[in-house]
Homo-oligomer: A and B are copies of this chain.
């Protein structure tokens, strides 16, 4: 990929990503694309050539984060308490979704729309969590009548609610409350 790519193209791509990181940090996931191009000292056309879609740009921006979350799920798969493992991971998912304003919405939309440039990454992340959920359910610590999509939707929904609030720990509080609801009742 990098051998057949012209040097200036690669440079502009990097400039765009850096500019996007800045702009999205400031204005959330629907930051102005024109503004991003301006920050990168690049024409708007160049932005669209590299990232045909806002979602494609976000995908590139969040790649590393998704990888971390994915690896984390794998390592948690080996932890002793399956229930705690799932809860920990969902907490980290919520925290990760709070990186940028609007991220919970972007992820939620991407999961629902297979055409989205962000769909693949998100779906992969989701299935990583799926293995954790399955284990927790088999261990009997999580209700068996609950779906992976539901658990993810719940987590992102709470992360979404938290970003519209002054209380910085709202997401964590809500999530821990909701967790009691997910717990299996063994009597």
Q: Using a CB–CB distance below 8 Å, which chain A residues touch chain B?
A: 108-109, 111-112, 143, 146, 149-150, 153-154, 156-158, 160-162, 164-167, 170, 173-174, 177-183, 185
Contact = CB atoms under 8 A, between A and B. Distances in A.
Contacts of A149: 165, 167
Nearest to A158: B157
A181 B170 contact: no
Given A150-B170, A170-B150, A108 B161 contact: yes
B162 A174 contact: no
29 contacts: A108-B161, A108-B164, A111-B164, A112-B165, A112-B166, A143-B177, A146-B177, A150-B177, A153-B161, A153-B162, A153-B164, A153-B170, A153-B174, A154-B161, A154-B174, A154-B177, A154-B178, A157-B158, A157-B160, A157-B161, A157-B162, A160-B160, A178-B178, A178-B181, A179-B181, A180-B180, A180-B183, A180-B185, A181-B181
Tell me what chain A mostly uses at the interface: helix, strand, loop, or mixed.
helix
A167 to B, nearest CB: 8
- Shortest beta-carbon contacts, A-B, top 10: A181-B181, A157-B161, A180-B181, A157-B157, A153-B161, A177-B181, A108-B164, A178-B178, A178-B181, A157-B158
A33 to B, nearest CB: 19
A32 B78 CA distance: 51
A101 to B, nearest CB: 12
Contacts of A109: 164
